[in-house]
Structure 1
Amino acid sequence: MAASNDFFRGSDPENTNRGSLEGHFLISETELTDPNFIQTVVYLVEHNDNGALGFVVNRKSETALKDVIPDFTDSPAGELEVYIGGPVEQMFLFTLHSGLPGDKRSDAASSSLQGVILEPDFELIRRFLSEQWPDLNPEHRPEIRFYAGYAGWAPGQLENELRHGAWVVIPATPGIVFAPEPEESWRNALRKKGGIYWVVAETGFKPSMN
């Protein structure tokens, strides 16, 4: 598995596409049966005329950072978990974090949501984890999540799925992106939507329409 440094080159940071869902969650509907997305929450980091891209934030793998980056075998950072970010390009590792000390970030870093930063420069993350992470009090360590792969949509594909009711959309929150119990994130996100979705969150089923 490789860390991705330049995957996001070519995206337009000035894009202000009307109707963009960047910075929102896609919450899978109960009718969505694709095994890659059953009861998932996807954080969208890009959505424009070229399509959409995001990360499934609530699906842990059985892999830790030390399993894919041997340099961290004997480091506390090696225990950081790797999440399954989506079905595309799972040989690449992507990083979201809540902000490094001194607001250190690369020129390629981006943020669609305050408190959630996409950092494509893995070497910057590697240096931080190697040089600073072990000496930080655990309470003062930033949130860092690693994702194997991503979820991607071609132009118009996501819009079509939304028209067919595959996803519920709500504004994203850092609390769900970095949830300490991600297995509860699908239900917690639906609760934030409220209304009938509170019932879905509690039961896992949508009431039938008469």
Structure 2
Amino acid sequence: MDDLTSKLLVSVPRERSLVDDQDVFDRSVVLVLHHDEEGAHGLILNRPLSADVDAVLPGWQEHVSAPDRLFQGGPVSLDTALGLASMPGDDDETLGVRRIFGGVCLVDLDAPPPVVVPMLAALRIYAGYAGWAAGQLEGEIEAGYWFVVDAEASDPFSDDPADLWQNVLLRQRSALAFAASFPDDPDQN
């Protein structure tokens, strides 16, 4: 399988009766941050939490993009925080910021915000991440759990993360766009 780094994984819609209430991947959009033969990891982009960022990282709240909430990045290591940012330009090495592809960067959350924030166009803080062992993600894609689509620069920092799943599907120029109209409860259709 091709390298999926920088791609979006969009969960395939399923009947609510088949979805566990705790399924963090239900109608999720995951940005793949890294993918190789050893596995993959990424962040769920559309799971804002009710917690303020300052509750876990004092000093960062005023710098995050709207909605200014902490996001659940996935089910793995929920006690860790990752900063995902957009940084204009093409500098690879900047104090406190590591570019991973295009304008998407990881932020060192141990760095003081005044050192890092002036370089950033957008910032989100995530608790946890999504991770797959070698071959696991490929198996899930082959089993039909994920659509793989190109990301747009604004996806990780959408003002309306609740509608991101539907919006990503609707912009596809294929039959994939029809999946966006899959109802929460097909019996109500």
TM range (shorter): 0.7 to 0.9
- In 2, Cα distance between the equivalents of 1:194 and 1:100? 28
- In 1, Cα distance between the equivalents of 2:179 and 2:87? 33
Tell me the number of residue pairs that the alignment of Structure 1 and Structure 2 aligns: 177
Instruction: Give the C-alpha shift of residue 202 in structure 1.
Output: 2.8
- In 1, Cα distance between the equivalents of 2:147 and 2:47? 18
CA contact (8 A) 1:65 1:77 kept: no
Deviations 1:45-67 (A, max 9, x none): 10001100000001100111111
CA contact (8 A) 2:97 2:105 kept: no
| 2:158 pairs with 1:179 | yes
The equivalences for 1:11-30 within 5 A come to 19-30=2-13
| 2:100 pairs with 1:111 | yes
Amino acid at match of 1:109: R
| 2:37 pairs with 1:49 | yes
1:192 matched residue in structure 2: 171
- In 2, Cα distance between the equivalents of 1:67 and 1:95? 15
CA contact (8 A) 1:95 1:145 kept: yes
- In 2, Cα distance between the equivalents of 1:178 and 1:167? 21
- In 1, Cα distance between the equivalents of 2:95 and 2:150? 26
160 and 125 in structure 1: CA distance in 2 versus 1, 3 angstrom threshold: farther
CA contact (8 A) 1:26 1:167 kept: yes
1:152 matched residue in structure 2: 131
Gaps of at least 5 residues in structure 1 are 1-17, 134-139
- In 1, Cα distance between the equivalents of 2:58 and 2:31? 28
Gaps of at least 5 residues in structure 2 are none
CA contact (8 A) 2:74 2:129 kept: yes
- In 1, Cα distance between the equivalents of 2:157 and 2:110? 22
Query: What's the secondary structure of 1:80's corresponding residue?
Result: coil
Match of 2:62 among 76, 85, 102: 76
CA contact (8 A) 2:9 2:148 kept: yes
CA contact (8 A) 2:90 2:103 kept: no
125 and 165 in structure 1: CA distance in 2 versus 1, 3 angstrom threshold: farther
- In 1, Cα distance between the equivalents of 2:123 and 2:165? 20
| 2:140 pairs with 1:161 | yes
Instruction: Give the C-alpha shift of residue 105 in structure 1.
Output: 2.6
- In 1, Cα distance between the equivalents of 2:132 and 2:35? 9
102 and 193 in structure 1: CA distance in 2 versus 1, 3 angstrom threshold: closer
Deviations 1:159-197 (A, max 9, x none): 100110000001111211111101110011112323322
Instruction: Give the C-alpha shift of residue 97 in structure 1.
Output: 0.7
| Higher fraction of helix | 1
Instruction: Give the C-alpha shift of residue 100 in structure 1.
Output: 7.0
